[in-house]
Amino acid sequence: MEKQVLEWGIETNEKGHRANSYLYCAETDCPECGYKLPLSPSWIIGKGTKTIAVLKDNGKDGFDIEIQSGVSDEALKRADEMATVRDGNTWCPQCKKSVPITVLRKDRKGDNGEMLSGLRPWGKTEFLPRPDDVFRERLYCVRYEYEEQYLASNGEWKSKTIRYYQTPTPQDMVREKKVEQLLAGRFVDWQNKGFIPNTEIETGLETARLTRERGWRYWHQLFNPRQLLVHGLFINKALSLNPSRQEVILILLGINKLSNWNTKLSRWNSDAA
């Protein structure tokens, strides 16, 4: 699996540094001013590294997101205060207006008192939002790492891992597009083989929220293209080794762990970053 990922070149930048984290956010259009609005309950990325995301007006139709590390305590506090999701509402830095998320979704009650959403339901073969969807998805930060050699006090050369956060570059976005293309070429085959989810989300008290609040109707839509590609590749490579029954169980436990921690529903922990 490692060899395939390296051959694809989807996690390595021009410096040879390897990405180990990708941060995405939902994005919508502010109904008050029309600006494209990235959504997050906090723009603090790492408290330990004092890394934040700063929304900067692009002077046209939305915000550029600039990643800054080693900032002051005041800047860290400001990043938390600039949250664009607050108590069930969106808040736009451009027009300074708040809008209930239920209004964005056009929530309403049905004839039987059930809560209905105005979001477009995603189709079975869709793994990306459409440009005109209420909620879209945006990559806004990549964390890279590399090994650096240094001379220790005892005169021996040692290595240490250096990690840094950055705003996605045009080359990063090219790699994102390649991920989408790689997945698209394998999507139907991998669904048929069970490497990635292919079933509809069952109706239930909690699961109904996925469709009502995001428009997702199938389990694979809880994962972005990069996550689906990695999960599918993991199972594909593991099963190609003709594993024993016991090994298959371990593979299933492994993919279950991946699915728990590598999904759109997973939240970034800024305390440890």
Tell me, what's the pLDDT at 109?
83
Tell me, what's the pLDDT at 168?
98
Q: Where along the chain do its domains lie? A: 2-272
Residues 90-98, mean pLDDT to the nearest whole number = 98
Q: Helix/strand/coil (H, E, C) string of the chain?
A: CHHHHHHHCCCECCCCCEEEEEEEEEEEECCCCCCEEEECCCCEEECCCCEEEEEEECCCCCEEEEEECCCCHHHHHHHHHCCCEECCEEECCCCCCEEEHHHHHCCEECCCCCEECCCCCCCCCCCCCCCCCCCEEEEEEEEEEEEEEEECCCCCEEEEEEEEEECCCHHHHHHHHHHHHHHHCCHHHHHHHCCCCCCECCCCCCHHHHHHHHCCCEHHHHCCHHHHHHHHHHHHHHHCCCCCHHHHHHHHHHHHHHHHHCCCCCCCCHHHC
Q: What is the pLDDT of residues 16-53, one digit of tens each?
A: 999 999 999 999 999 999 999 999 999 999 999 999 99
Tell me, what's the pLDDT at 258?
77
Q: What is the pLDDT of residues 130-152, one digit of tens each?
A: 999 999 999 999 999 999 999 88
Confidence of residue 189 (pLDDT cuts 50, 70, 90): very high
